[in-house]
């Protein structure tokens, strides 16, 4: 009888816990859906334009690309109970070095596509060095990640400005713009238009203004990185160790997980995704900028938090980070279309971030209290 009573009591206590976990997991999806519905009604009513257009949807995807790439690596770091404040400037450093490598290779007679590949390898390689140094200091010297990555962000900023000579790196071959702005598919509206794949159609100037690009190459590459990161986090030992370290560092050490080596890899991964973001920025703007990533750091952290990655570590998903990035992009785009001033956009995003943290903390607090009672 006692056992059955305990079982019934356990069922009663688990029900609110399950509901809380479900609500904390789905709130971002619900908020995104409500936000899209709001803008779909408000934008036509206020400005006369339509929020639901193919071009606007593709613009949102392009807008989230750098934020999402920074957030992907940050997801691994925060799940492991860390933080990386250097990724914004690592992106800038990668943009500068990818531009320098592409220009040097092309000027030396290397064809365009191999030059672009050389720029990608150079950008990711330089970024990986920064992540390796961060990881070694954090893991081996036991310096708090906040201090290490804050300090390295200043160093990386100085190096980026030094190698760019405090200006934009230009003189790149114009052909790289196609890699940064052309698309997988095209839709040309109007008479004489149609659907095209893999190659931009040769159309008149009038039809060109009615052409929509579907899935630009940076978006496609970002999608590939997202899938690789999702697989790495959910289906590999690397991901399981990441969750374990964030859940309990001491327990991970006792079970034989090589914590120091794993932390170094995590910070390298964080910098490498930022390196990809910097490389894609160079392709998109046909130039290397030493300041391009600076405004994106906080947005990337906000996307991770909104997406449900726990600040205390041990919980989070790549899909959540994607949703968080979409929320920020949709929110910003919708407010711009409503002619809302920029400072209100910052205020609204800040409120959403605080709400996400409160939801995360309330979930952990409730579950912790329930666990201590049991």
* Residue 353 φ then ψ, to 5°: -60, -45
Upper half-sphere CA count for residue 63 (Cβ side, 13 Å): 18
Bridge partners of 267, per DSSP, are none
pLDDT, one tens digit per residue, over 266-280 is 999 999 999 999 999
Name the region of 289 (left: φ>0; alpha: ψ -120 to 50; beta: rest): beta
Whether residue 216 contacts residue 62, with contact meaning beta carbons closer than 8 Å, is answered with: yes
Residue 253 CB: number of other CB atoms within 10 A? 13
* The predicted structure's pLDDT at residue 370: 41
DSSP run (H or E) holding 23: helix 2-47
For residue 327, pLDDT beyond 60: yes
Rounded mean pLDDT of the chain? 86
* The predicted structure's pLDDT at residue 6: 38
pLDDT, one tens digit per residue, over 219-260 is 999 999 999 999 999 999 999 999 999 988 899 999 999 999
3-state helix, strand, coil in the chain (%, to 5): 75, 5, 20
* The predicted structure's pLDDT at residue 2: 41
User: Strands of 211-216's sheet, edge to edge?
Assistant: 194-197, 183-188, 211-216
pLDDT, one tens digit per residue, over 101-138 is 999 999 999 999 999 999 999 999 999 999 999 999 99
Residue 186's SS3 state is: strand
Q: Report the range of poorest mean pLDDT among 23-37, 284-298, 300-314, 322-336.
A: 23-37
More confident residue, 48 or 60: 60
pLDDT, one tens digit per residue, over 22-58 is 565 678 888 889 889 998 898 888 877 788 888 888 9
Whether residue 245 contacts residue 262, with contact meaning beta carbons closer than 8 Å, is answered with: yes
Whether residue 79 contacts residue 246, with contact meaning beta carbons closer than 8 Å, is answered with: yes
Q: What is the CA radius of gyration of the chain?
A: 23
CATH architecture of 24-361: Orthogonal Bundle (1.10)
Look up the pTM and report it.
0.88
User: Residue range 313-341: average pLDDT?
Assistant: 89
For residue 4, pLDDT beyond 70: no
* Size of the chain, expressed as the number of residues it contains: 374
């Amino acid at each position: 009888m006692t056992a059955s009573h305990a079982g019934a009591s356990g069922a009663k206590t688990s029900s609110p816990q399950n509901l809380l976990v479900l609500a904390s997991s789905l709130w971002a999806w619900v908020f995104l859906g409500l936000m899209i519905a709001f803008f779909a009604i408000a934008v036509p009513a206020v400005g006369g334009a339509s929020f639901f257009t193919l071009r606007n949807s593709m613009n949102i995807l392009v807008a989230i690309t750098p934020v999402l790439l920074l957030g992907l690596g940050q997801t691994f770091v925060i799940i492991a109970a860390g933080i990386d404040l250097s990724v914004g400037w690592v992106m800038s450093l990668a943009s500068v070095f990818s531009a320098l490598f592409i220009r040097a290779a092309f000027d030396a007679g290397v064809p365009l596509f191999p030059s672009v590949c050389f720029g990608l390898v150079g950008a990711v390689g330089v970024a990986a060095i920064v992540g390796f140094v961060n990881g070694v200091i954090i893991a081996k010297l036991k310096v708090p990640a906040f201090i290490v990555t804050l300090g390295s962000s200043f160093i990386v900023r100085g190096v980026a400005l030094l190698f760019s000579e405090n200006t934009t790196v230009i003189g790149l071959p114009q052909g790289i713009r196609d890699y940064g702005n052309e698309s997988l598919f095209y839709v040309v509206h109007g008479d004489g238009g149609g659907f095209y794949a893999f190659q931009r159609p040769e159309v008149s100037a009038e039809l060109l203004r009615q052409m929509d690009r579907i899935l630009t190459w940076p978006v496609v590459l970002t999608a590939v990185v997202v899938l690789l990161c999702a697989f790495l986090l959910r289906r590999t030992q690397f991901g399981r160790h990441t969750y374990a370290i964030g859940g309990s560092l001491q327990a991970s050490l006792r079970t034989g997980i090589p914590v120091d080596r794993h932390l170094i890899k995590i910070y390298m991964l964080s910098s490498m995704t930022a390196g990809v973001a910097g490389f894609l920025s160079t392709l998109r703007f046909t130039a290397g900028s030493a300041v391009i990533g600076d405004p994106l750091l906080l947005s990337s952290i906000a996307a991770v938090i909104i997406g449900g990655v726990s600040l205390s570590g041990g919980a989070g998903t790549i899909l959540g980070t994607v949703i968080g990035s979409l929320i920020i992009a949709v929110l910003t785009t919708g407010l711009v279309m409503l002619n809302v001033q920029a400072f209100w956009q910052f205020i609204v995003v800040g409120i959403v971030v605080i709400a996400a943290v409160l939801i995360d903390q309330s979930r952990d607090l409730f579950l912790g209290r329930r666990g201590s009672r049991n």
